[in-house]
Amino acid sequence: MADCFNDKLLTYEDEDTAKYIGLWLTELSVDNFLPPVEYYLTPMNTAWAVSIVRRAAEECKEKEIRRSKLYEALDFLEKNIDAPVLVRQYRRALQGDRPDEWQKEGLRQILMAAVLGIQQSAAVCSILL
């Protein structure tokens, strides 16, 4: 929320000086009163990564699933679960185009099978921790 700041002591005839002082005050308030960027960014965890991968497999017939968050989730899972082969299988299945419904359904079946294995492996890893 932005608000107008008026102070009779801070009145300048020169427009450039007024803009400079205004930017400086804005920077000062942002640096001192807003939380750091890390506050807004959630680090990837196993449950979130599995959810992204599962949702992409379910929606592969309706939407294009080559999104950066999907590949970030796949990278995370490949490093953190005991079955990186399933993640590589999922990634390999994403390669290429599938123009007709029959091929899209085949892709969905392959991805859902890989997701089932990934979910089971992630559950075993979380139990062992």
5 lies in a domain?
A: no
Give me the pLDDT at residue 1, please: 44
Label residue 5 by pLDDT band (50, 70, 90).
Answer: low
Note whether 29 and 73 are same-domain residues.
Answer: no
Residues 37, 51 within the same domain: no
Q: How confident is the model at residue 59 (pLDDT cuts 50, 70, 90)?
A: confident
**Model pLDDT, residue 9:** 66
What was the pLDDT predicted at 122? 85
- Quickly list DSSP for 14-82: -HHHHHHHHHHHHHHHHHHHSPPHHHHPPPP-HHHHHHHHHHHHHTTTTS----HHHHHHHHHHHHHSS
State how many domains the chain has: 2
Distance between CA atoms of residues 56 and 68, nearest Å: 12
CA Rg value for the chain: 24
Least confident window among 19-23, 82-86, 124-128: 124-128
Q: Are residues 27 and 53 in the same domain?
A: no
Instruction: State whether 114 and 74 are in the same domain.
Output: yes
- 58 or 15, higher pLDDT: 58
Q: CB count, 10 Å around CB of 108? A: 17
CB neighbours (10 Å) of residue 121?
21
Task: Please give the average per-residue pLDDT across 30-48, as a whole number.
Answer: 78
- The verdict on 34 and 78 lying in the same domain is no
Mean pLDDT across 71-92? 88
| Residue range(s) defining the domain that contains residue 111 | 46-128
Q: Is the pLDDT confidence value at 49 over 50?
A: yes
Q: What is the pLDDT of residues 83-111, one digit of tens each?
A: 888 899 988 888 888 888 898 888 889 99
- Examine the pLDDT at 128 and tell me if it is beyond 60: no
